[in-house]
Structure 1
């Protein structure tokens, strides 16, 4: 029986490259000349550090642009509130990976509401969809791409025929 998995993940190596490129851009931009501003990647969290809150916002846009250029969907960014302490401003951006239980249940509910002849099961941080026909599975993929779903990027992998 044909099946595929719905996941939400990104290539961590590409995230490292995006952070490195953003660091290089901060060092070369004229408006950041003489400013101590850096990006630091710690696991799946990016730490932004600058002198003022305004610079953090500019750095956030730089990071978003670099992630998009590297093929990572910007919806995986979970921005925390900036911390303003004296002469330093810090902000943490978590890069979300994996489907949360509530999002997985929402996906299953939308698949069932579409009346497609497929079965959807939650398996950890992914949703497995099985059906008798390949066309039914491709219809589910098109449905999930077209609808405004969870606020995170979805990928379809492990397609078996």
Structure 2
């Protein structure tokens, strides 16, 4: 039997699924009548996890975002992992918007998770490891209580519990 049990709290976006969703959205945009003659694009920089959405006007930009978000949901990408920037003017009277994908947990949110675990007063050890939080205990019941508390609380970002062993 294992000496100590643990699980990780983090966030990981599958960028291959994002790429597939973008390709599907671009295909739908090219076939839709209301986008005929429109210069609507979605570009992804995988290295930085940054996406740029551009279109003729703000109304079409919102339509492109709706199409993309529906494709992302179908591919099990959580929309809470996307943070959109403000809409800015681009060349030729068009508009664009930058969107970032959350990878891992920001350090402030990781500290909130650790504080939540410490406030539960259980014999559980929580430590920040880069962009994840590892929670360890000798009792599975205590870990399951921590998992329930983390899922119940809203940290304002997407947090997933995984790697339970």
User: Post-superposition shift, 1:30?
Assistant: 2.3
Q: Write out the 4+ residue segments of structure 1 that deviate beyond 6 Å after TM superposition.
A: none
Partner of 1:159, secondary structure, is coil
User: 2:162 corresponds to which residue?
Assistant: 157
Match of 2:113 among 107, 116, 135: 107
Match of 2:139 among 116, 129, 133: 133
Question: Is residue 54 of structure 2 the alignment partner of residue 49 of structure 1?
Answer: yes
TM-score normalised over the length of structure 2: 0.90
8 A contact 1:51–1:89 mirrored in 2: yes
8 A contact 1:38–1:48 mirrored in 2: yes
Partner of 2:164, secondary structure, is strand
Give the Cα separation in 2 of the matches to 1:49 and 1:92: 9
User: Post-superposition shift, 1:47?
Assistant: 1.0
What's the RMSD between the two structures over aligned residues? 1.3
Partner of 1:55, secondary structure, is helix
User: Post-superposition shift, 1:73?
Assistant: 0.8
Where does the alignment leave 5 or more consecutive residues of structure 1 unmatched? none
User: 1:8 corresponds to which residue?
Assistant: 11
